[in-house]
Amino acid sequence: MSTKVVAMILAGGKGTRLESLTKKIAKPAVSFAAKYHIIDFPLSNCANSGINTIGVLTQYESTFLDTYLGSGEKWGMNGVHSVLTSLAPRQTEEGAQWYKGTADAIAQNIDFLDDLDPEYVLILSGDHIYKTLYNEMIDLHQQTGADATISVIEVDPKEASRFGIMAVNAKDIIVEFQEKPKKPKSNLASMGIYVFTWKTLRKYLKDDMKDEESEHDFGKNIIPNMLNSGKKLQAYRFKGYWRDVGTLSSLHQANMDIIEADEMNLFDNDVSTRIYTEDTYSVPQYVGPVGYISHSIANQGAIILGHVTSCVVSNEAIIAENAVCTNCVIMEGAYIKRGARVHNAIIAPYTVIEEKEEINVDGDDIVLVSRRVK
């Protein structure tokens, strides 16, 4: 698609509900499914869709994320005709300021987009787990002549009040938008995935920058303003697995979903939707003579001498003799010592669980243990 489509990935959120996991890194950089980082998913989706010009908008604790993005080689973005660049808030003639909202983040990079002169801009979140090709959504946007196309997913009506909700007509043209309504008029939730015709979006961003009352947000400002002024907003119905991993419980559940490989399959070897990441160049995974692993994922470099059931075990994690881990997400370099028992937990990177220590053994809620020693 060359610069006909430019993707802009919003990756600057603090992710405070992930507690200490995001104390030193941005949420899109958090580990996922033993070998990935969350941002691998939108970046791989772009690469698989033939979108080779991408801006990643960073802000909070961006050092690791910037380093991880590197030249874009992991996702095939380091060629002559591809661009992957980190876009942090910067000082300009107007001064220096943080991104004040999702729309403001794009607005502060209008010059970047103007230089590329795309027909369409694809706006993505850097902290969602899903596999897709964006081509069908972009084709729908073109075919319908929409000013904006919004990817929506059907949610449980009881949960609809947590989302931006779209009411549509028989042709899936959006006729009303409700931001986290108490009484939702439909169960079509916005996924935070948008295709905009750039010339139209540019005008609305410029107008929004002048509005001192605006929160400079796509859901709260740009989309309602476009709808109120009669612009054509098209809904695109997403089919497949999608999760916002903004809480400890949702992050844990998404990891467990990967183990099931039902709705979200990372093991199908389908090159067209493969998720790419960094190779840790670790030694092979090792399971000891009395070690046991079942219904789990373990990355290279993991050493399993105890018992592991329904867990996601990252590289360089160690499960010592007689340790028992069930329903856990065990991140890079964690050390579960001899005789420890851990259940329904996320073990943060380089955390040590001491000998015979018991963590949440009878607990149903998900707990985070973070005692970083490195």
Give me the amino acid identity at 158.
Answer: K
219 lies in the same domain as 286: no
Distance CA(67)–CA(226), nearest Å, equals 37
Nearest of 85, 83, 78, 80 to residue 52 by alpha carbon: 83
Q: How many CB atoms lie within 10 A of CB 115?
A: 8
Give the chain's domain count. 2
Range of the domain at 364: 279-369
CATH number at residue 95: 3.90.550.10
- Write the DSSP symbol of residue 351: B
Tell me, what's the pLDDT at 1?
44
227 lies in the same domain as 295: no
- Confidence band, pLDDT 50/70/90 cuts, at residue 194: very high
Quickly list H helices, 9-75: 40-48, 63-69
In the chain, % of residues over pLDDT 70: 97
CA–CA–CA angle 53, 104, 45 (5° rounding): 30
**Model's pTM, two decimal places?**
0.94
Q: How many CB atoms lie within 10 A of CB 368?
A: 17
Tell me, what's the pLDDT at 2?
44
Q: Is residue 266 part of a domain?
A: no
Distance CA(346)–CA(19), nearest Å, equals 11
CATH number at residue 327: 2.160.10.10
- Confidence band, pLDDT 50/70/90 cuts, at residue 89: confident
Tell me, what's the pLDDT at 94?
61
The tokens for 144 are 């319908």
Tell me, what's the pLDDT at 374?
62
